[in-house]
Every structure is written in structure tokens, then in C-alpha cells.
């Protein structure tokens, strides 16, 4: 709503009518449209409903800062919903064991927070079911949009792990291109700066605006860092995570997450977003450098083929997945932890 007010103040009555139109559509029509025309990946998801769509699209709007000894850490504000719940900045993970002696803490971005599925179907929750009976609690410390560097600060500052606990970092996509501006209009309407800015602002807050305007306007990602620079930042974050884990006797695993942008399975189609080729190439360059470097070979786990065993695509876009994808991620994590003897 604040974005709507700022838009009106900047662009006048015409902007008010423009914004009001999308506000009405968002409130009255989008849930009904989504309730009927659900994405193919949700075809067997019985939780798909107007309430779920509303919770999924609004929960991550409430980001707040928490002051820690190592700086300000972003967390999700508490959220009490039917399908999605957040308490103390952490996504609800279930089941919660009665007795716990150890923790597995999952750090990552939106693919760890998993706002695209209910609490019970995130990959941390599905991992929690896998370790049930071992007195291990699984914590979801994902944050939509977070980079590796941001979650390392959370790892160090939030105090979620103790000696002999496990910290899992599921990262890569948000680090691939570390400097970009999303939702920048570069289509035919870009020649009028005020109109372009109005469209960009509307796309930033309106779900229907992103659908209607995004289809006619290519999303431009203004790349301000090369893949090599992104690797440097990833290297620094990895070294810091290793230092924090060593100092606190925490077991660390860093998993490079999959993405449809690097999948080689034509049967799964292509991302439905309009993404500039320069962004895709920078993304792929980052992954190639990371996977192909001997420097990282024994320090990160390549999870880019986690979905190879699936017959149908779990992707909702170029990176987010539904419950089948999360189940595959949880199984992968379980196997990795078990092979290291960290579940004993």
C-alpha cells in the first residue's frame, strides 16, 4: 500500500486510477483466476486454494532487521496462516520431535524458505520426517532473496547452532549474478521514462501487474558484476562459513542448488519468465566456474542434478519447485548427511 501511495504522489491522478485497477484485480480476481488456472506443476497439489495463493504471495513482504553482534540480519516477520507460519524469523518445520539433542539448520534463500508450498512440504520439513526418531530438530532459516553472504551473517549472528549441530547451506542462484536490477522495463514503453517508472513500480507490488505487464515487457537484469567477481564473493562467504563452523564445532555442508537455467532436459521446457540472455549466460558462467574449479571440489556439494530421477518437472519457474522437488532435495540432503555419519 505504501508503494501505491508513493506512486500516486509521484505520478498524479492517472497513476492513482492505474494503481487502483491493479489493486482491485489483485484483491478480487487473482485468487479466483489462480484457483482455476493453476500452474501445471501444482496439478496434484490439494492445498492449492485462494487462501494458499494469498499467503504465498504476501508472507515474504514482511522482512525486518534483527541486530546481532556481527551486524543487522534480515529475517521474515512473524506470520500466522493456515498454510504458512513464521515464528521468530523461522519458517515452521514439522514434525517437531519431542526430545532433541541436536539440530540441523537449513540456510538459504527462497528455495529453502519455500513459500511456494505449505509448512509440511518444504524440504526442511520433509527432511525432518526423514530423521524423525533420531532426536534431531530441523530448523528452516531460509530467507527469500538472501545470498550466501547474508546467510553466513545469520549463521554467525543468530546463534541457531551448537557444538555437533549441522549447518546446511543451499545456495548458488542468488549468488550467480550478484548485482542486478529486476523488473526494469526495456520494451517499447521504455522510451517514456515516467511511464516506464510507473510500470516498474506497479510490477514491484502487484501480482496481476507482473502478469499483465511482464508478458509485454522484457525483464532487464542490469549486471554490475562479472561471474568472476561473483565467484570471489562466493569464495569469501565459503571461507567465512568454514571459519564459523570450525570455531563452534559445527558440521558444515554447502550444496550448490539446481536451476532450470542449467538443466539439459528439453522435455521440461524453458522458463516462463522473459529473462535477458545476458543474465542467463552470466548465471551459467558462474556455475561452470564453480563446478569446474578444483578449489571448490571438496568444499561444496554439486546438487545441480538433484531432480534427475524425476519424470516430471517440479519447477514453478527457473528455480522454485513444488513439493515433489522439495522431496527430492530432502532425500538428497538425507543421503549426504547419512554418508558422512552425521545422523548417527
Domain ranges of the chain: 62-180+221-339
Report the C-alpha gap between 14 and 326 in whole angstroms: 44
CATH 3.40.50.1110 matches 62-180+221-339: yes
Report the C-alpha gap between 100 and 136 in whole angstroms: 5
pLDDT digits (tens, 9 = 90+) for 225-238: 567 788 889 999 99
> Between 68 and 325, whose confidence is greater?
325
Query: Taking 90 as the threshold, does the pLDDT of residue 283 lie above it?
Result: no
pLDDT score for 222: 46
Query: Taking 60 as the threshold, does the pLDDT of residue 153 lie above it?
Result: yes
- Comparing CA positions, the residue from 62, 110, 124, 51 lying closest to residue 89 is 62
> Contact at 8 Å (CB) between 114 and 177?
no
What is the DSSP secondary-structure string of 106-121?
Answer: EEESHHHH-TTS-GGG
Residues in CB range of 336: below 8 A, 6 or more apart: 253, 255, 301
* DSSP 3-state of 232: helix
> Between 280 and 311, whose confidence is greater?
311
Average confidence score pLDDT of the chain: 80
Find residue 185's DSSP bridge partners.
219
For 130, phi and psi rounded to 5 degrees? Answer: -70, -30
> Contact at 8 Å (CB) between 83 and 112?
no
Report the C-alpha gap between 123 and 113 in whole angstroms: 9
Report the C-alpha gap between 4 and 213 in whole angstroms: 16
Q: Distance between alpha carbon 165 and the CA centroid of its chain, in Å?
A: 23
Amino acid at each position: 500500500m505504501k508503494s501505491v501511495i508513493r506512486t500516486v504522489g509521484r505520478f498524479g491522478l492517472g497513476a492513482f486510477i492505474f494503481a487502483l485497477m491493479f489493486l482491485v484485480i489483485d484483491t478480487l480476481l487473482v485468487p479466483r483466476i489462480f484457483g482455476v488456472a493453476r500452474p501445471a506443476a501444482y496439478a496434484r497439489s490439494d492445498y492449492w486454494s485462494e487462501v494458499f495463493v494469498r499467503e504465498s504471495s504476501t508472507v515474504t513482504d514482511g522482512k525486518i532487521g534483527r541486530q546481532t553482534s556481527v551486524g543487522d540480519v534480515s529475517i521474515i516477520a512473524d506470520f500466522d496462516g493456515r498454510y504458512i507460519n513464521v515464528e521468530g524469523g523461522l519458517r515452521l518445520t514439522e514434525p517437531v520431535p519431542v526430545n532433541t539433542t541436536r539440530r540441523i539448520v537449513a540456510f538459504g534463500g527462497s528455495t529453502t524458505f519455500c513459500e511456494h508450498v505449505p509448512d509440511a512440504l518444504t524440504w526442511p520439513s520433509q527432511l525432518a520426517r526423514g530423521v524423525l526418531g533420531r532426536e534431531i530438530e530441523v530448523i528452516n532459516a531460509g530467507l527469500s532473496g538472501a545470498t550466501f553472504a547474508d546467510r553466513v551473517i545469520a549463521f554467525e549472528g543468530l546463534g541457531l547452532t551448537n557444538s555437533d549441530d549441522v549447518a546446511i547451506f543451499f545456495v548458488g542462484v542468488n549468488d550467480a549474478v550478484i548485482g542486478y536490477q529486476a523488473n526494469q522495463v526495456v520494451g517499447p514503453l521504455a522510451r517514456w521514462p515516467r511511464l516506464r517508472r510507473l510500470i516498474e513500480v506497479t510490477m514491484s507490488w502487484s501480482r496481476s501487474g507482473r502478469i499483465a505487464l511482464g508478458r509485454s515487457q522484457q525483464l532487464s537484469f542490469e549486471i554490475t558484476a562479472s561471474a568472476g567477481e561473483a565467484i570471489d564473493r562466493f569464495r569469501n562467504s565459503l571461507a567465512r562459513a568454514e571459519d564459523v563452523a570450525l570455531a563452534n564445532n559445527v558440521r558444515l555442508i554447502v550444496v550448490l542448488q539446481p536451476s532450470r537455467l542449467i538443466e539439459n532436459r528439453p522435455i521440461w521446457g524453458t522458463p516462463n519468465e522473459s529473462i535477458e540472455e545476458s543474465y542467463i549466460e552470466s548465471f551459467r558462467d558462474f556455475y561452470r566456474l564453480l563446478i569446474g574449479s578444483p578449489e571448490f571440489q571438496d568444499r561444496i556439494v554439486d546438487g545441480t542434478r538433484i531432480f534427475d530421477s524425476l519424470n516430471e518437472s517440479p519447477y514453478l519457474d527457473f528455480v522454485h519447485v513444488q513439493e515433489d522437488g522439495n522431496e527430492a532435495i530432502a532425500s538428497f540432503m538425507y543421503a549426504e548427511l547419512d554418508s558422512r555419519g552425521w545422523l548417527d
